[in-house]
Structure 1
């Protein structure tokens, strides 16, 4: 299979360690445009679109394969094997943080570290865990998405983005949502919002940087704090930002936190 075509892969930068950037629901690799330039001089950078998103090959979308996050995680490991060099650091936004976690679990030792931006292992509250949403809230959200995807996208994208004072970012996210094929987006939304990856993150020993917005409707602060508590080798950084996409609305703050976390692998490059 032509992975380059399947996932619209872009490779750039210079370095002996590789950063693989994986976008969230409704997004595409262009959402990394404000963050990636900070790392091109010292890292090999791999960007890609999840199958069904961006300029990926829609013909490669298989409803059975992508009925769980496992299908996306196996794709990610194929991309790592084909395009990554040296130590691999996965930079995952939102649901892609869990896709990266699964990829790590499937190939222990291949991933050197994770940067998780706005991650959540489970969105629905359950006994002993607060994800930020009631089951009925998620079902209502999915029902609305099923009945009127474009309307849902137009109303929800600005809420997800947040970023008051930067309306162009809301427009960019809305356009990305609306370009996604509706049937694929509906299935991916169900897979995303109904998943429970707590068993996958608990005890994961790979170094993790958790980048958490101070005000995030989708992944509230207490979810980031939960992940920090259950990931034994994690670093938690709160970004002063409103919205679920701090890599877009607060890229300098995200880059600064990442620079500190990535210093050991940047040193490898310098050597």
Structure 2
């Protein structure tokens, strides 16, 4: 049974078939919350217990639990995921994670593999910064420019970033939905979290992972170049890379049916 403290801290929701032998944990990426999985989770509710939560600093997670000092590493977020898995006594759960939560899940699975059986990583990146031969997609100058824009005019940055990251210009309402959840994050928290995400380096965790892993990557993603997906596939044993017939960084929102089919085939 999950404690009231953890439930409040991460706004934990438990849905679906509560008697099912298998659990799926859905973990959201930066700028969204657990509602980002609304269209996808419906396909699994009849056959799986569904666990959703908000990362501290996002959604309806307890704002008082956030500290820029404590949450200055992805390890802290991984510990939160492990707290949820431990309190629910999960064994062999499937994790479906987007963006930064992909690497959070990898860290968690490496630390306590007994809780997990398979990972589905959507738009994942172990490092966003270019580093020698490694192409992450961003230079430090580009990131510094983004930080500056976020600092001087956060809401203008939200408008531009949300549209570009979502892609799918023929469906502008999707970018607007993303902009809405971004605006709900306190600007100082958003900046601190973005710095942690974009300057993280989790490449050393990849060879350690020993779970069947599905990598889902769109054809065009402003945050994660195709080379990064290939790098993940090369460095995670038992991984399968699937290029989705979709665009943008949020295929679970813009092309949920495509993502559902891929997950169903894998699990």
Q: TM-score, normalized by length of structure 2?
A: 0.95
Q: Is residue 47 of structure 1 aligned with residue 52 of structure 2?
A: yes
Tell me how far 1:206 sits from its aligned partner. Answer: 1.0
SS of alignment partner, residue 244 of structure 2: strand
Deviations 1:21-48 (A, max 9, x none): 1111111111111111011111111011
How do 1:250-265 residues align onto structure 2 when only pairs under 5 Å count?
Answer: 250-262=255-267
Q: Distance in 2 between matches of 1:138 and 1:48?
A: 28
Q: Distance in 1 between matches of 2:151 and 2:221?
A: 24
Correspondent of 2:10 among 7, 11, 20:
7
Deviations 1:187-245 (A, max 9, x none): 10000000011001134211110000011110111111110111111011111111000
Contact map agreement 2:91 2:115 (CA 8 A) in 1: no
Q: Distance in 1 between matches of 2:88 and 2:43?
A: 20
Q: Is residue 159 of structure 1 aligned with residue 130 of structure 2?
A: no
RMSD over equivalenced CA pairs, Å = 1.2
Contact map agreement 1:51 1:60 (CA 8 A) in 2: yes
Unaligned runs of 5+ in 2: none
Q: Distance in 2 between matches of 1:199 and 1:139?
A: 25
Contact map agreement 2:10 2:55 (CA 8 A) in 1: yes
Contact map agreement 1:16 1:87 (CA 8 A) in 2: no
Aligned match of 1:135: 140
Q: Distance in 1 between matches of 2:186 and 2:89?
A: 29
Q: Distance in 2 between matches of 1:82 and 1:115?
A: 22
SS of alignment partner, residue 146 of structure 2: helix
Tell me how far 1:85 sits from its aligned partner. Answer: 3.8
Unaligned runs of 5+ in 1: 263-271
Aligned match of 2:181: 176
Q: Distance in 1 between matches of 2:225 and 2:176?
A: 23
Q: When the two structures are aligned, how many residues end up with a matched partner?
A: 262
Q: Is residue 145 of structure 1 aligned with residue 150 of structure 2?
A: yes
Correspondent of 2:35 among 30, 39, 53:
30
Change (3 A) 1:9 1:2: same
Q: Distance in 2 between matches of 1:92 and 1:115?
A: 6
Q: TM-score, normalized by length of structure 1?
A: 0.94
Q: Distance in 2 between matches of 1:49 and 1:203?
A: 26
Q: Is residue 196 of structure 1 aligned with residue 197 of structure 2?
A: no
Contact map agreement 1:46 1:83 (CA 8 A) in 2: no
Q: Distance in 1 between matches of 2:231 and 2:164?
A: 23
Correspondent of 2:217 among 195, 207, 212:
212
Contact map agreement 2:91 2:114 (CA 8 A) in 1: no
Tell me how far 1:143 sits from its aligned partner. Answer: 1.8
Aligned match of 1:61: 66
Deviates more, 1:89-98 or 1:143-152: 143-152
Q: Distance in 2 between matches of 1:191 and 1:40?
A: 33
Contact map agreement 1:46 1:84 (CA 8 A) in 2: no
